[in-house]
């Protein structure tokens, strides 16, 4: 049975996103060329190709890896850990982003070749920090794979 489990798989380490994840949207887009013939109604589209996928994620630092983040210090540490997991710079390889996990089969539904576009953390509410995240997956194929 597939379970919603958003996480980053990077360098052999699985880092779950802080929960709850209040919104996770996938944005697909395509490129194409549009041609118009003068004095003819309509147009002609050619050369469709799928772009990478953008993931837009919003969440709260209520729990981290299943443990409640009850105070500011724990939530701040969770922000630091999330920033480290999402960092891609220099010679580092892109990561995979996990959407779902099937524990009985040991399989994950994921997107590969991911890089972080933006991470925004809101620390203004000392009782519950929130975050907003944009990830770009260069490979648009949603894959089923084992992480071992």
Q: pTM of the predicted model, to two decimals?
A: 0.88
CA distances from 108 to 42, 51, 100, 115 (A): 44, 22, 6, 19
How many folded domains does the chain comprise? 1
Predicted local distance difference test score (pLDDT) of residue 65: 73
Token digits of residue 11: 């360098």
Q: Which two tokens stand for residue 5?
A: 């489990």
In this predicted structure, what is the pLDDT of residue 52? Answer: 96
Largest CA distance in the chain: 68
Peptide bond between residue 89 and the one before it cis (omega within 30 degrees of 0): no
pLDDT of residue 115: 96
Q: What is the pLDDT of residue 71?
A: 85
CA-to-CA distance for 65 and 78, rounded, in angstroms? 10
CA distances from 37 to 32, 41, 44, 73, 135 (A): 16, 8, 8, 63, 39
Q: Are 2 and 109 in contact (CB under 8 A)?
A: yes
State the Cα–Cα distance between residues 101 and 114, nearest whole angstrom.
18
Look up the CATH number of the domain holding residue 40.
Answer: 2.40.30.200
pLDDT of amino acid 21? 96
What confidence score (pLDDT) does residue 2 get?
96
State residue 62's pLDDT score: 86
pLDDT of residue 145: 95
Identify the domain containing residue 77 by its residue range: 3-145
Per-residue pLDDT of the chain (148 residues), as tens digits, is 999 999 999 989 999 999 999 999 999 999 989 888 898 899 988 888 999 999 999 999 987 777 777 788 888 899 999 999 999 887 778 999 999 999 999 999 999 999 999 999 999 988 889 999 999 999 999 999 998 7
pLDDT (0 to 100) of residue 93:
85
């Amino acid at each position: 049975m597939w379970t919603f489990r958003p996480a980053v798989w990077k360098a052999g380490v699985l880092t779950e996103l802080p929960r709850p994840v209040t919104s996770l949207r996938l944005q697909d887009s395509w490129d194409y060329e549009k041609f118009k013939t003068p004095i003819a109604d309509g147009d002609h589209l050619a050369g469709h190709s799928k772009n990478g996928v953008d993931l837009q994620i919003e969440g709260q630092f209520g729990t981290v890896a299943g443990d409640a983040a009850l105070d500011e210090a724990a939530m701040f540490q969770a922000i630091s850990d999330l920033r480290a997991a999402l960092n891609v710079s220099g010679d580092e390889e892109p990561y995979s982003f996990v959407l779902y996990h099937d524990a009985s089969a040991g399989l994950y539904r994921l997107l590969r070749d991911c890089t972080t576009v933006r991470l925004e953390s809101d620390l203004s509410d000392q009782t519950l920090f929130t975050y907003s995240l944009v990830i770009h997956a260069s490979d648009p194929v949603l894959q089923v794979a084992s992480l071992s």
